[in-house]
Amino acid sequence: MNKEEFREKVKSSCPEELVVHVPIAIDVLSDIFLRDGQYYQADVAKVIQYLGRLVPLLAQKDEGQLASFRLTAEDVLTSDYLANLLSYKMKETRRFAFNAEEAPFDSYEDAIAWMEGQSVELTEDTIVQMQETQLRMLLPYLSGEEISYIYPKPESNTLWLVVKEAHRTSKKIGFTPISVALYILVDIKPLLTPHVWSSVSIPEDIETENGSVRYRKRWVDIRLNTEISWNELLALYRSIRGSLGVTKNKMASNKHLELYELVQRKGAPPEGRGKLAFFTPIMEEWNRLHPEDLYHSWQGINMAYNRIVQKLRARLQIESVI
């Protein structure tokens, strides 16, 4: 059957609270279930089984930590192996928190309802304090609802234990914290994405003779969880370029560098009058050095220099600070 028919088959068979996630699940799992351009009835139940494992990844995506991805057999195999290694620790956590090795809940809805019930109610008095704490957890979407954080109550030792263990295991393995928490609570194995990345941007002020300017110091943290294909690496590359404000493939050339350095050696270009006197000797020197690439007016070389500066300012998000 085609993709649309397969999607409707899955929707009609899966739990109501997960229907909203079916389209993205089929896209993410297409490398596993799309064979010879077709989807098959036998795979409907398998996709539904993966739905519960995929939902917790949406929380991570909403925090801006996830590039576009598709799961492969490699990713699922790695996830299952690591989840099996964690099985003993999950049982131990349940035994300590709930006095039983079996998962205390049968569904996502029940587990999330319990976590919300044990969480601090955010008020004007508690919201600032709670948002600063590290012991919190981002819940995934259910039925398309908005994501939200939970904060364990100080007196709720059970939820505190679950959340703390989820964060500890997440740092060790790479599963999202909510995936680990739901592994403890519902016994649904978590999934690893092929890669996770996050972009950091910090404003910095620089004093100049014309006042302060602000630019954004930016970097990207990347974690590769499994083997990734060339197409996945290319998708990651494009996502990172977009986050850094680089939207075109054309990079600065030796010509751009030489022209910028030539102008800088002559001093800062004037803001108002005096551009003719400033750029004419620069044009003459450039033409003497590059007879194969001539400028025919001072305005032309002025515009070329301005384009270089504008591109740098846009990429570095430079702004004036008075």
Q: Domain residue spans in the chain? A: 3-195, 254-321
pTM, to two decimals: 0.67
CA angle 313, 319, 321 (to 5 degrees): 150
Tell me what pLDDT residue 300 has.
94
Query: How far, in Å, CA of 321 to CA of 211, rounded?
Result: 7
Which residues neighbour 251 within 8 Å (Cβ) at sequence distance 6 or greater? Answer: none
pLDDT band at residue 322, thresholds of 50, 70 and 90? low
Mean pLDDT of 117-127: 67
Tell me what pLDDT residue 233 has.
81
Q: In this model, does residue 284 exceed pLDDT 50? A: yes
101 — phi, psi (to 5°)?
Answer: -80, -20
Q: Which two tokens stand for residue 84?
A: 């099996």
Among candidate residues 122, 126, 129, the one with its CA nearest the CA of residue 150: 122
Highest mean pLDDT: which range of 99-103, 154-158, 161-165: 99-103
For all residues of the chain together, what is the average pLDDT? 82
Tell me what pLDDT residue 64 has.
46
Lowest mean per-residue pLDDT among 8-12, 130-134, 159-163: 130-134
Lowest mean per-residue pLDDT among 58-72, 157-171, 189-203, 206-220: 58-72
Mean pLDDT of 61-81: 71
pLDDT band at residue 67, thresholds of 50, 70 and 90? very low
pLDDT band at residue 123, thresholds of 50, 70 and 90? low
Q: In this model, does residue 41 exceed pLDDT 80? A: yes
Q: In this model, does residue 288 exceed pLDDT 90? A: yes
Determine contact, residues 259/308, Cβ cutoff 8 Å: yes
203 — phi, psi (to 5°)?
Answer: -75, 140
Residue 150, classed as helix, strand or coil, is: strand
Torsion of CA 284, 286, 290, 295, to 10 degrees: -70
Mean pLDDT of 140-155: 63
Mind listing the pLDDT tens digit for each residue in 80-95?
Answer: 999 999 999 999 999 9
Query: How far, in Å, CA of 93 to CA of 107, rounded?
Result: 18
Mind listing the pLDDT tens digit for each residue in 205-214?
Answer: 888 777 788 8
- State the chain's maximal CA–CA distance in angstroms: 85
